């Protein structure tokens, strides 16, 4: 008697796990067994499902599983109890081998150094710090790319922050950033030197350029990353907030090179600067003239003056949320911030209520901050806020609701009425300051 | 001259919550809305219609129920709405999405010249800001992102001047047409649909273009045409911090406890 065939089972949705990712399960199903409902969740037709497991594998939320009838389970159990199946010889798939070869042609971690009027964006140096780690994990060089007019000085700075090789494209046509010009330069460099990873700041400029370069190169790009690591297969695991910061997603681009990411400013720590560091500067020609570039920059208007407070660079931030109740109450936070030598920030609800200007907003749609001390006052801690401040060295939460999610990221929490706690805190700090000044 | 505005139906991410027990996304009851930035793209297109008589076409790629989003664009006043929907488009990342949108715009361009494509600066669910640049690249249009003011659109002279909003600065730039603009919220205030427009839009036809219309290689769209994929989705696990003092009954004492802790950890710069 032939042994029973191993049952394959049917795919089934696990309730409450689906995140409506955009019908990945449906598009991967070879037999049209998956339909989507209005909520974007799959409905699986078991009469059609052939148990190929493709949808289970593709689901990013692990929301699908294989289900078996009791009869199938019994057969499975019997099979398992019988002689263990001979280990299948691992077979080198020719497709897999070709892919490996294709990817191996790319080597090196690159950081695009963003500059305006000859001044580098700080995020570029933060990326050299992270890039160094990634390059070490890949055992490959860390390189920087500098473009502009008379920007050779930036190459030396890049070397000081850890770059081993800097590719420099220096020409009048590159003085102001223009998508078309920078894209052509960067794509030329990539085709010539073939890096495996390209990192850029998730700034206005970085995102403008990255999206174009990735499209021209036909490769993957992950926006606004907050975490980068090399996985056990040597690919770049790119983690970023998704769904408005409600969850985190790890994105892979394991079949294409280069792997490109834009990275949120102020998330990666600044690396130390070594003025004595040595590195190579490679000058590359710029292959086009001004006439070929369609867009002209007429004028650059520096904002300045409007608000000289930069919450992103502050060491102490006292932030207020909905619990502040009214605009006037932010004066209390200002007083506390002043005594600490810090600035006042705000949650989205405080900004939406018009209590604070938008440039003070911390969170997914505002700024990311990593001060030494972040004091959250009357902020419940919606995830979109937490993603903007959870990398602060120390988080102190003051809130009357002990269940507020902010306490989950706080190093220290004070539960109670902030209108009594904050004035007490300010008064005591003032007294301490006065005593120290007098001492 | 045609002006194409791209819109996306998104879940209202401000209403998404995490189940504290299972650590999963609670999507129950979360409504779908028009991506807020895209309503500004529609308005910017309608301004060009008002001033120069451009015909405005709204495009959206999405599931069949994204038709509702296009109806809202019709209610605002766009002339034509096209839904790009096909199972083979599903599961697309930004590269595969821009492929489909660009192909549709190219097709529209065969009927009448497309002078401008306008997108919102990003969506609130993906937050990538990558699809606009992807479309511009594929169509070889000039790309002007983060526009907060369209100052000189001139179909006769075939050029446009805009102001871009960047970190700490603004930029005045000029480009020949055709262009792709992505707009920020400051660009305009979207008009409110009148009751009549709303009623008319309910009757209006939303065209459906599937891949039989666009004829794209199925390997280049949807999940198959996407170089990136999501390997894991998670909510970060967090440890509870230390609660200091009894702030409810003794706020003074709690303040003292905090200062003591800050001194101990050397957190004060005073």
DSSP label of A149 = S
Q: Are B255 and A375 in contact (CB under 8 A)?
A: no
Helices (H), A311-374: 330-340, 348-352
Report the gap between the CA of B133 and the closest CA in chain A (Å). Answer: 5
Q: Phi and psi dihedrals of A79, rounded to 5? A: -60, -40
- Tell me which residue in B13, B165, B168 faces A244 most closely, judged by beta carbons: B13
Q: CB–CB of B232 and A26 under 8 A?
A: no
Report the gap between the CA of B195 and the closest CA in chain A (Å). Answer: 27
- Tell me which residue in B17, B249, B252 faces A424 most closely, judged by beta carbons: B252
Rounded to whole angstroms, the Cα distance separating A50 from A45 reads: 10
Rounded to whole angstroms, the Cα distance separating A109 from A134 reads: 7
- Positive or negative, the CA dihedral B176, B182, B185, B188 is positive
Boundaries of every domain in chain B: 2-225, 239-270
* Residues B2-225, CATH architecture: 3-Layer(aba) Sandwich (3.40)
For residue A332 the two structure tokens come to: 């209390």
Rounded to whole angstroms, the Cα distance separating A428 from B268 reads: 13
Domain with CATH 3.40.50.620 in chain A: 103-292
Percentages helix, strand, coil for chain A, rounded to the nearest 5? Answer: 35, 25, 40
pTM for the model: 0.82
Cβ atoms within 10 A of the Cβ of B88, count? 23
β-sheet bridge partners, residue A318: A344, A375
pLDDT values of chain B reduced to their tens digit, one per residue, 270 residues: 999 999 999 988 777 776 666 666 676 778 899 999 999 999 999 999 999 999 999 999 999 999 999 999 999 999 999 999 999 999 899 999 999 999 999 999 999 999 999 999 999 888 899 999 999 999 999 999 999 999 989 999 999 999 999 988 899 999 999 999 999 988 999 998 889 888 988 889 999 999 999 999 999 999 999 999 988 888 766 666 789 989 899 999 999 999 999 998 888 877
| For testing contact with chain A, the best of B12, B25, B92 (most A CBs within 10 A) | B25
| For testing contact with chain A, the best of B24, B132, B144, B161 (most A CBs within 10 A) | B24
Report the gap between the CA of A324 and the closest CA in chain B (Å). Answer: 17
pLDDT for the residue B8: 97
- Of B80, B63, B77, give the one whose Cα is nearest residue B11: B63
Secondary structure of residue A186 in the 3-state scheme: helix
Tens digits of per-residue pLDDT, A337-385?
999 999 999 999 999 999 999 889 999 888 889 898 999 999 999 888 9
Chain B positions in Cβ-Cβ contact with residue A302 (cut-off 8 Å): 168-169
Please provide the DSSP assignment of A394-439 as one string: EEEEEES-TT-GGGGT-SEEEES-HHHHHHHHHHHHHHHHHHHHH-
Chain A positions in Cβ-Cβ contact with residue B127 (cut-off 8 Å): 223-224, 241-242, 244, 364
Report the gap between the CA of A393 and the closest CA in chain B (Å). Answer: 10
pLDDT for the residue A197: 98
Q: CB–CB of B254 and A248 under 8 A?
A: no
Q: Greatest CA span in chain B, whole angstroms?
A: 75
Report the gap between the CA of A84 and the closest CA in chain B (Å). Answer: 31
- Of A380, A310, A393, give the one whose Cα is nearest residue A345: A310
End-to-end CA distance of chain B: 64
Secondary structure of residue B119 in the 3-state scheme: strand
Buried b or exposed e, range A129-154, using 16+ CB within 10 angstroms: bbbbbbbeebebbbbbbbbbeebeeb
Secondary structure of residue B172 in the 3-state scheme: strand
Tracing tokens 């998508």 back to the chain, one arrives at A179
Measured between CA atoms, the residue of chain A closest to residue B221 is A27
| For testing contact with chain B, the best of A63, A226, A241, A244 (most B CBs within 10 A) | A244
Chain B positions in Cβ-Cβ contact with residue A315 (cut-off 8 Å): 269
| For testing contact with chain B, the best of A37, A55, A179 (most B CBs within 10 A) | A179
Domain with CATH 3.30.70.20 in chain A: 10-83
ipTM, 2 decimals? 0.90
Q: CB–CB of A408 and B88 under 8 A?
A: no
Q: CB–CB of B127 and A397 under 8 A?
A: no
Chain A positions in Cβ-Cβ contact with residue B133 (cut-off 8 Å): 179, 207-208, 210-212, 215
pLDDT values of chain A reduced to their tens digit, one per residue, 439 residues: 566 778 889 999 998 888 877 788 988 898 999 998 887 889 999 999 999 999 998 888 889 999 998 988 888 888 888 755 554 555 667 888 899 999 999 999 999 999 999 999 999 999 999 999 999 999 999 999 999 999 999 999 999 999 999 999 999 999 999 999 999 999 999 999 999 999 999 999 999 999 999 999 999 999 999 999 999 999 999 999 887 777 889 999 999 999 999 999 988 999 999 999 999 999 999 999 999 999 999 999 987 655 567 788 888 999 999 999 999 999 999 999 999 999 999 999 999 999 999 889 999 888 889 898 999 999 999 888 988 898 888 999 999 999 888 998 899 999 999 999 999 999 999 999 898 887 6
Chain B positions in Cβ-Cβ contact with residue A40 (cut-off 8 Å): 63
- Tell me which residue in B22, B243, B249 faces A413 most closely, judged by beta carbons: B243
Domain with CATH 3.40.50.1220 in chain A: 311-438
Determine the number of helices (DSSP H) and then strands (DSSP E) in chain A: 12, 22
E strands present in A97-235: 109-113, 115-116, 119-120, 142-148, 165-170, 197-201, 221-225, 227-230
CATH topology of domain A10-83: Alpha-Beta Plaits (3.30.70)
Tracing tokens 């401000």 back to the chain, one arrives at B14
Q: CB–CB of B87 and A23 under 8 A?
A: yes
pLDDT for the residue A84: 57
Tens digits of per-residue pLDDT, B135-169?
999 999 999 999 999 998 999 999 999 999 998 88
Cα B128 to Cα A114, A183, A439, B17, B120: the distances in Å are 19, 18, 54, 21, 11
B11 touching A (Cβ < 8 Å): yes
Q: Which of residues 175-194 of B touch A (CB under 8 A)?
A: 175-176
Tens digits of per-residue pLDDT, B95-141?
999 999 999 999 999 999 999 999 999 998 888 999 999 999 999 99
Q: In this complex, how many residue pairs, one in chain A and one in chain B, have their CB atoms less than 8 Å apart? A: 308
Domain A103-292 is in which class? alpha beta
End-to-end CA distance of chain A: 96
E strands present in A266-372: 280-283, 296-302, 316-320, 343-346
Rounded to whole angstroms, the Cα distance separating A187 from B223 reads: 25
Residue A163 CB contacts under 8 Å (≥ 6 apart), including other chains: A111, A128, A142, A143, A144, A279
- Of A29, A48, A75, A61, give the one whose Cα is nearest residue A250: A61
Q: Which of residues 143-182 of B touch A (CB under 8 A)?
A: 143-146, 161, 164-176
Q: CB–CB of B142 and A247 under 8 A?
A: no
Q: CB–CB of B236 and A248 under 8 A?
A: yes
| For testing contact with chain A, the best of B6, B9, B16, B224 (most A CBs within 10 A) | B16
Tracing tokens 């409600």 back to the chain, one arrives at A246
CATH topology of domain A311-438: Rossmann fold (3.40.50)
β-sheet bridge partners, residue A62: none
Measured between CA atoms, the residue of chain B closest to residue A302 is B169
Rounded to whole angstroms, the Cα distance separating B226 from B220 reads: 8
Q: CB–CB of A248 and B133 under 8 A?
A: no
Rounded to whole angstroms, the Cα distance separating B17 from B108 reads: 40
Residue A128 CB contacts under 8 Å (≥ 6 apart), including other chains: A111, A142, A144, A158, A161, A162, A163, A271
β-sheet bridge partners, residue B180: B117, B143
Rounded to whole angstroms, the Cα distance separating B155 from B58 reads: 20
């Amino acid at each position: 008697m032939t042994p029973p065939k191993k049952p394959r089972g049917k795919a089934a949705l696990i309730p409450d796990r689906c995140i409506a990712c955009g019908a990945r399960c449906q598009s991967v199903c070879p037999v049209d067994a998956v339909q989507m409902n209005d909520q974007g969740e799959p409905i699986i037709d078991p009469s059609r499902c052939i148990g190929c497991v493709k949808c289970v594998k593709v689901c990013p939320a692990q929301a699908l599983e294989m289900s078996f009838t009791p009869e199938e389970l019994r057969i499975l159990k019997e099979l398992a109890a019988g002689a263990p199946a001979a280990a299948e010889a691992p077979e080198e798939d020719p497709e897999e081998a070709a892919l490996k070869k294709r990817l191996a042609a790319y080597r090196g971690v690159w950081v695009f150094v963003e500059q305006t009027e000859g001044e580098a964006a700080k995020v570029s140096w933060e990326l050299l710090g992270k890039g160094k780690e990634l390059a070490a994990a890949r055992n490959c060089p860390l390189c920087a790319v500098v473009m502009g007019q008379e920007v050779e000085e930036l190459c030396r700075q890049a070397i000081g922050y850890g770059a081993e090789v800097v590719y420099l494209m220096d020409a009048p046509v590159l003085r102001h950033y223009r998508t078309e010009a920078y894209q052509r330069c960067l794509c030329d460099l990539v085709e010539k030197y073939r890096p495996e990873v390209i990192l850029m700041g998730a700034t206005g400029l970085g995102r403008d350029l990255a999206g174009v370069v990735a499209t021209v190169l036909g490769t993957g790009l992950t926006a606004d990353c907050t975490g980068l690591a090399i996985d056990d297969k040597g690919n770049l695991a790119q983690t970023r907030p998704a769904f408005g910061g409600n969850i985190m997603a790890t994105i892979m681009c394991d079949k294409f090179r280069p792997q490109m990411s834009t990275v949120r400013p102020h998330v990666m720590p600044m690396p130390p600067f070594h003025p004595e560091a040595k590195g190579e500067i490679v000058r590359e020609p710029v292959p086009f003239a001004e006439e070929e570039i369609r867009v002209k920059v007429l004028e650059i208007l520096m904002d300045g003056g409007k608000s000289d407070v930069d919450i992103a660079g502050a060491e102490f931030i006292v932030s207020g949320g909905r619990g502040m109740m009214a605009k006037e109450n932010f004066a209390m936070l200002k007083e506390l911030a002043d005594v600490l030598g810090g600035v006042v920030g705000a949650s989205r609800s405080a900004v939406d209520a018009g209590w604070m200007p938008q440039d003070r907003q911390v969170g997914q749609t505002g700024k990311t901050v990593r001060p030494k001390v972040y004091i959250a006052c009357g902020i419940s801690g919606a995830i979109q806020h937490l993603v903007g401040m959870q990398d602060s060295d120390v988080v102190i939460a003051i809130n009357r609701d002990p269940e507020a999610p902010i306490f989950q990221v706080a190093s220290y929490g004070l539960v109670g009425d902030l209108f009594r706690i904050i004035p007490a805190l300010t008064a005591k700090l003032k007294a301490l300051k006065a005593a120290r000044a007098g001492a | 001259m045609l002006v194409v505005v791209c819109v996306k139906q998104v879940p209202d991410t401000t209403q998404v919550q995490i189940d504290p027990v299972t650590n999963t996304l609670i999507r129950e009851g979360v409504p779908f809305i028009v991506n807020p930035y895209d309503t500004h793209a529609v308005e910017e297109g309608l301004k060009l219609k008002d001033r120069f008589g451009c015909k405005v076409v709204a495009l959206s790629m999405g599931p069949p129920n994204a038709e509702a989003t296009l109806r809202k664009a019709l209610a605002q006043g766009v002339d034509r709405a096209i839904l790009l929907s096909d199972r083979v488009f599903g599961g697309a990342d930004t590269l595969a999405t821009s492929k489909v949108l660009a192909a549709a715009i190219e097709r529209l361009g065969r009927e009448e010249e497309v002078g401008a494509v306008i997108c919102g600066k990003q969506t609130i669910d993906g937050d990538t800001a990558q699809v606009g640049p992807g479309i511009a690249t594929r169509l070889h249009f000039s790309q002007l992102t983060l526009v907060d003011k369209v100052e000189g659109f001139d179909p006769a002279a075939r050029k446009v001047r805009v102001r871009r909003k960047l970190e700490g600065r603004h930029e005045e730039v000029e480009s020949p047409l055709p262009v792709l603009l992505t707009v920020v919220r400051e660009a305009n205030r979207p008009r409110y649909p009148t009751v009549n427009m709303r009623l008319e839009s309910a009757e209006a036809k939303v065209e459906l273009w599937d891949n039989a219309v666009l004829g794209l290689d199925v390997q280049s769209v949807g999940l198959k045409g996407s170089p990136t994929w999501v390997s894991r989705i998670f909510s970060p696990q967090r440890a509870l911090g230390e609660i200091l003092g009894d702030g409810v009954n003794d706020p003074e004492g709690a303040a003292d406890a905090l200062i003591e802790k800050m001194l101990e950890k050397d957190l004060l710069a005073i």
